[in-house]
């Protein structure tokens, strides 16, 4: 798609007070150089620095992650990128502001954006008609148009992508053209992805739009997968998994999906310390034993490129079969706010006798990190922990009958229903739901250290946005905030179907069904605060003096100006530090 030595990136990934990680995909084996200038304009204060990394290869694709360190807290530093002595970023004649590294500032309240579910189709009239305006791109264009000073003020500390950044099972026409060019699309897996090469092209389609590419180069990002990164209903049940494993193509899909996820998404989630202990990254570091002495301005490292193809494939296969051997979840602290991002896909226990969304190791890890002493605790999980009550109880009933509560015929029907309408969220894994609810309640009641003002689950997946809150008279607020989709709206008929399942009389009906299948009562009650709405949206979360401010924004096209949508606020709410006092 490009003649440039740079295929993808720079993606600004992990950033803290003094360092930043920049990710790249290059056309060939190369050394990637990132140059920054700090200090004043005088000879005694101005300081230019260059940081370099050698690429590593995976299935004939080339990647580099450059670590920039020694930065000042709260600084904003422009950077340029060179490959083989040629500047590749920023692009010549770019219409966007300079890409910068904005380090975190001690005591600055957190500002993050979040959302999930983003398809990669053209941003023209047809693409906007079928998939709506890309809320991420509209956000990027507005940020870029404000000017550099305003960009610095408005830029979030992090964009958190909560799954389905790419759709391996629901491919666009452009992706299908690529697939047809290399294999017979009438053979399994058909229009779905088959291998790493196709995943690489899918990410290229997702991350090369100029506006989004600029945004990803100047705003730090964190990511976690969901089902469509691999396939719809990924690990929904044991029967689903067994069905997939009978196919001729599933092994190749899951290996390619997890291997590409490690390269394109997970690697940049890690801090330098965490990367140093990562088993795959250790191989990269061991290979690149030559140290670069900055004072000699070495342009190239004279060593062969490491090929990780076989190692990464074996690693991905092991992670699928033995998920407890690797952790995809991670935790980050921002001044008075802790962010915990959970893997809710690979660590599932599908054995009906001990079915769980998180295995024992993952639950213990979550318990270890759910500690007091923070003003706010955020839990990023692609699947909403709290669905609207009617749908949550329906899922708990479906889990019970699918596992035999009403006998074998009902179990078969329940399994078909589970896969047909995606009844596989936390409510469909009652063991884990009750365990995590107990942990959150302990934290909210101050039994895990000083209770935070807010415990908030951040999620996506369901293709509509809303806020629900646990009914509590005191202690921390326990809140569920959902932003979905960024760009993949539900058809109108499915919107009505979702609303019927979630609200109104369905609450009572699903409650009766759950009790008839002897599903335990929920550990607490919760209710809707605002929503639902079905727009393509990107949400922002700001820690403000009076609590947490949540805002959902969508892109709107005026007239026929599809290339330059404007941003419109769909909803905004501020949640104070304590719930309202109980009446009476």
Is residue 144, in this structure, part of any structural domain at all? Answer: yes
Residue 290 has pLDDT above 50, yes or no: no
What CATH code is carried by the domain that includes residue 6? 2.60.40.380
Position 303 scores a pLDDT of 64
Question: Do 115 and 93 fall into the same domain?
Answer: no
Position 150 scores a pLDDT of 66
Q: Does a cis peptide bond (omega within 30 degrees of 0) precede residue 376?
A: no
Position 504 scores a pLDDT of 63
> Residues 386, 457: contact at Cβ < 8 Å?
yes
Residue 420 has pLDDT above 80, yes or no: yes
Query: Which tens digit of pLDDT belongs to each residue from 183-214?
Result: 999 999 999 999 999 999 999 999 999 999 99
Position 498 scores a pLDDT of 67
Query: Which tens digit of pLDDT belongs to each residue from 541-571?
Result: 999 999 999 999 999 999 889 999 999 999 9
pLDDT band at 293 (very low <50, low <70, confident <90, very high): very low
Question: Do 74 and 210 fall into the same domain?
Answer: no
What is the average pLDDT score of the chain? 92
Residue 291 has pLDDT above 50, yes or no: no
Residue 292 has pLDDT above 60, yes or no: no
Question: Average pLDDT for residues 376-388, to the nearest whole number?
Answer: 97
Residue 395 has pLDDT above 70, yes or no: yes
Question: Do 415 and 511 fall into the same domain?
Answer: yes
Question: Do 86 and 122 fall into the same domain?
Answer: no
Q: What percent of the chain has pLDDT over 90?
A: 82
Per the listing, tokens 């092994």 go with: 251
> Which residue would you say has higher pLDDT here, 97 or 146?
97
Question: Do 234 and 254 fall into the same domain?
Answer: yes
Position 40 scores a pLDDT of 53
DSSP string, 263-278: IIIIGGGS-HHHHHT-
Query: Where among 81, 105, 129 does a domain terminate?
Result: 105
Position 510 scores a pLDDT of 84
pLDDT band at 46 (very low <50, low <70, confident <90, very high): low
Is residue 497, in this structure, part of any structural domain at all? Answer: yes
Question: Do 465 and 494 fall into the same domain?
Answer: yes
Question: Do 111 and 93 fall into the same domain?
Answer: no
Query: Where among 68, 87, 105 does a domain terminate?
Result: 105
What is the rounded distance in angstroms from the CA atom of residue 542 to the CA atom of residue 156?
Answer: 9
Which residues have a Cβ under 8 Å from the Cβ of 68 and sit 6 or more positions away? 19, 20, 21, 22, 34, 36, 51, 79, 101
Among the listed residues 216, 200, 229, 10, the one whose alpha carbon sits nearest the alpha carbon of residue 118 = 229
Residue 26 has pLDDT above 80, yes or no: yes
Query: Which tens digit of pLDDT belongs to each residue from 311-353?
Result: 999 999 999 999 999 999 999 999 999 999 999 999 999 999 9
Is residue 301, in this structure, part of any structural domain at all? Answer: no
Query: Where among 58, 76, 105 does a domain terminate?
Result: 105
Question: Do 397 and 494 fall into the same domain?
Answer: yes
Cα angle at 206 between 204 and 210, to 5 degrees?
A: 85
Residue 274 has pLDDT above 50, yes or no: yes
Question: Do 63 and 118 fall into the same domain?
Answer: no
Position 468 scores a pLDDT of 97
Position 508 scores a pLDDT of 78
Say how many domains are in the chain.
2
Residue 18 has pLDDT above 90, yes or no: yes
pLDDT band at 148 (very low <50, low <70, confident <90, very high): low
Query: Which residues form the domain of 452?
Result: 107-287+307-575
**373 Ramachandran zone, left/alpha/beta (phi>0; psi -120 to 50):** left
Query: Which tens digit of pLDDT belongs to each residue from 441-499?
Result: 999 999 999 999 999 999 999 999 999 999 998 899 999 999 999 999 988 777 766 66
> Which residue would you say has higher pLDDT here, 82 or 147?
82
Question: Do 124 and 32 fall into the same domain?
Answer: no
CA trace torsion 423, 424, 430, 434 (10° rounding) = -110
Question: Average pLDDT for residues 504-527, to the nearest whole number?
Answer: 85
What is the rounded distance in angstroms from the CA atom of residue 205 to the CA atom of residue 304?
Answer: 29
Residue 302 has pLDDT above 60, yes or no: no
pLDDT band at 369 (very low <50, low <70, confident <90, very high): very high
Position 505 scores a pLDDT of 58
What CATH code is carried by the domain that includes residue 409? 3.60.21.70
Is residue 93, in this structure, part of any structural domain at all? Answer: yes
Is residue 399, in this structure, part of any structural domain at all? Answer: yes
Question: Do 83 and 216 fall into the same domain?
Answer: no
User: Which tokens hold the place of 68?
Assistant: 């920039």
Is residue 582, in this structure, part of any structural domain at all? Answer: no
Question: Do 272 and 372 fall into the same domain?
Answer: yes
Is residue 584, in this structure, part of any structural domain at all? Answer: no
Is residue 292, in this structure, part of any structural domain at all? Answer: no
DSSP string, 245-261: HTSSSHHHHHHHHHHHH
Burial readout 174-211 (b: 16 or more C-beta within 10 A, e: otherwise): ebeebbeeeeebeeebeebbbbbbbbbbbbbbbbebeb
Residue 41 has pLDDT above 50, yes or no: no
């Amino acid at each position: 798609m490009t003649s440039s030595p740079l295929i993808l990136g720079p993606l600004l990934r992990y950033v803290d007070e003094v360092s930043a990680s920049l990710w790249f995909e290059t056309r060939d084996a190369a050394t990637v150089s990132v140059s920054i200038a700090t200090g004043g304009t005088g000879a005694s204060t101005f300081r230019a620095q260059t940081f370099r990394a050698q690429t590593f290869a995976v299935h004939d694709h080339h990647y580099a992650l450059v670590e920039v360190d020694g930065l000042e807290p709260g600084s904003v530093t422009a950077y340029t990128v060179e490959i083989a002595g040629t500047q590749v970023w920023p692009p010549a004649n770019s219409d966007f502001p300079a890409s910068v590294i904005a380090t975190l500032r001690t005591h600055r309240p957190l500002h993050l954006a979040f959302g999930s579910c983003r398809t990669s189709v053209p941003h023209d009239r047809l693409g906007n008609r079928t998939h709506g305006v890309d809320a991420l791109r509209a956000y990027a264009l507005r940020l870029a148009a404000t000017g550099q000073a305003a960009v610095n003020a408005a830029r979030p500390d992090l964009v958190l992508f909560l799954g389905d950044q790419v759709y391996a099972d629901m491919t666009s026409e452009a992706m299908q053209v690529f697939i047809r060019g290399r294999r017979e699309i009438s053979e399994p897996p058909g229009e779905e992805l088959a291998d790493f090469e196709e995943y690489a092209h899918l990410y290229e389609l997702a991350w090369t739009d100029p506006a989004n590419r600029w945004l990803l180069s100047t705003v730090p990002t964190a990511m976690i997968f969901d089902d469509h990164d691999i396939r719809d209903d990924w690990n929904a049940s044991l029967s689903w998994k067994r069905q997939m494993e009978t196919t001729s193509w599933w092994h190749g899909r899951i290996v390619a999906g997890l291997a590409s996820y490690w390269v394109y998404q997970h690697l940049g989630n890690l801090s330098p310390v965490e990367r140093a202990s990562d088993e795959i990254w250790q191989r990269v570091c061991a290979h690149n034993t030559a140290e670069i002495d900055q004072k000699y301005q070495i342009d190239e490292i004279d060593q062969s490129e490491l090929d990780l193809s076989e190692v990464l494939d074996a690693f991905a296969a092991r992670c699928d079969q033995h998920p407890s051997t690797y952790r995809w979840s991670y935790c980050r602290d921002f001044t008075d706010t802790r962010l915990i991002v959970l893997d809710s896909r690979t660590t599932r226990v599908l054995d009906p006798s001990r079915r769980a969304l998180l295995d024992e190791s993952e639950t213990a890890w979550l318990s270890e990190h759910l500690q007091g002493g923070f003003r706010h605790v955020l839990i990023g999980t692609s699947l909403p922990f709290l669905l609207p009550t009617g749908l949550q109880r329906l899922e708990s009933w479906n889990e019970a009958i699918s596992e035999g509560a009403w006998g074998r015929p009902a179990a078969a029907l329940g399994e078909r229903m589970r896969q047909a309408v995606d009844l596989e969220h936390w409510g469909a894994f009652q063991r884990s739901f009750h365990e995590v609810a107990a942990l959150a309640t302990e934290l909210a009641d101050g039994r895990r250290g000083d209770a935070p003002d807010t415990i908030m689950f951040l999620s996506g997946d369901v293709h509509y946005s809303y806020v629900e809150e646990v009914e509590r008279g005191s202690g921390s607020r326990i809140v569920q905030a959902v932003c979905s989709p960024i760009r993949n709206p539900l058809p109108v008929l499915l919107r009505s179907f979702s609303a019927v399942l979630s609200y109104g009389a369905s609450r009572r009906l699903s409650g009766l069904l759950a009790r008839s299948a002897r599903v335990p009562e929920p550990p607490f009650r919760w209710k809707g605060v605002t929503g639902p709405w079905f727009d393509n949206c990107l949400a922002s979360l700001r820690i403000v003096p009076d609590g947490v401010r949540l805002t959902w924004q969508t892109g709107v096209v005026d007239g026929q100006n599809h290339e330059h949508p404007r941003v419109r606020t769909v909803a905004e709410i501020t949640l104070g530090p304590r719930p309202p006092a109980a009446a009476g």
